[in-house]
Amino acid sequence: MKIYSGKIIANVLMLGLLAGCAQDKVVLLPNADGSRSAVVLKTAAGEQVLDQAYEGASISSSGKVTASQQTAESVQTRYGQTLAAQPKRPASYMVYFSSGNNEITTESAAAIEQMKTDMKSRSAPQITVIGHTDRVGSVEANDALSLKRAQLMRDMLIAGGIPEAQIDASGSGEREPLVSTEDEVAEPMNRRVEINVR
């Protein structure tokens, strides 16, 4: 039995099982943000830790693990089509609002433009839109306002060409603040819509 474990398994390229090969091949890919990750390959015949970008290993049908070192170029040459077929990684965006209303702040314009560009690069994005408020006003009023904010962002996405069926919009009112405050405190970081794309 082979066990693959790692901090960020999404950055591991595993090939062989689906192709019916006699060997599995594993390559640790770099994280987009430059942070380090690792994967431990365990078989009945041995164990190998991969903790550097482009380190690789082959695992024979008998469980023998043989380490190797790849390069960005060799991985692209050999596995470029496989890598290109992967879906884009999930992304999150925050859009902030003025106090007590449905008006997007001018500072959020850049996030909206980045989000629109990202959406155009995805073939069939699934999007979750969640509206939030600060703690100014009643719970009921904030529930309604958070939903209006989420619906505004949903409508913007639909106007940008995203099918409505791919967007789930909801409001959380004042229940999930980014910054904890007392009641009736106006906190700009809490007046937001979170947009998660996968």
The residues of the chain that CATH labels 3.30.1330.60 are 91-197
Q: Which of 186, 197, 196, 194 is nearest to 96 (CA)?
A: 194
Q: Which regions of the chain does DSSP assign to beta strands (E)?
A: 3-6, 12-15, 23-28, 39-43, 46-50, 55-60, 65-69, 91-96, 127-131, 167-171, 192-197
Work out the average pLDDT over 41-61.
88
**Whole-angstrom distance between the N-terminal and C-terminal Cα of the chain?**
32
- Tell me what pLDDT residue 17 has: 42
CA 78 from chain centre, in angstroms, equals 26
Strand-pairing partners, residue 65, are 59
- Beta-carbon contacts of residue 15 (< 8 Å; ≥ 6 apart): 21, 24, 25, 26, 79, 82
Q: For 107-124, what is each residue's pLDDT tens digit?
A: 998 889 889 888 888 888
User: Sign of dihedral through CA atoms 6, 9, 15, 17?
Assistant: positive
Distances (CA, A) of 154 to 100, 109, 158: 19, 16, 6
- Tell me what pLDDT residue 10 has: 37
Q: Which of 52, 54, 59 is nearest to 38 (CA)?
A: 52
Structure tokens belonging to residue 103: 């008006």
Q: Which of 172, 107, 175 is nearest to 146 (CA)?
A: 172
Phi, psi of 11, deg, nearest 5: -95, 25
Phi, psi of 25, deg, nearest 5: -125, 135
Q: For 124-142, what is each residue's pLDDT tens digit?
A: 899 999 999 999 999 999 9
The three-state secondary structure class of 64 is coil
Q: For 75-107, what is each residue's pLDDT tens digit?
A: 999 888 888 888 888 999 999 999 999 999 999
* pLDDT interval class at 9 (50, 70, 90): very low
Right CATH number for 91-197 from 1.10.510.10, 3.40.50.300, 3.40.50.620, 3.30.1330.60? 3.30.1330.60
Predicted structure pTM score? 0.67
Q: What is the rounded distance in angstroms from the CA atom of residue 42 to the CA atom of residue 24?
A: 12
- Tell me what pLDDT residue 84 has: 82
pLDDT of 152 above 60: yes
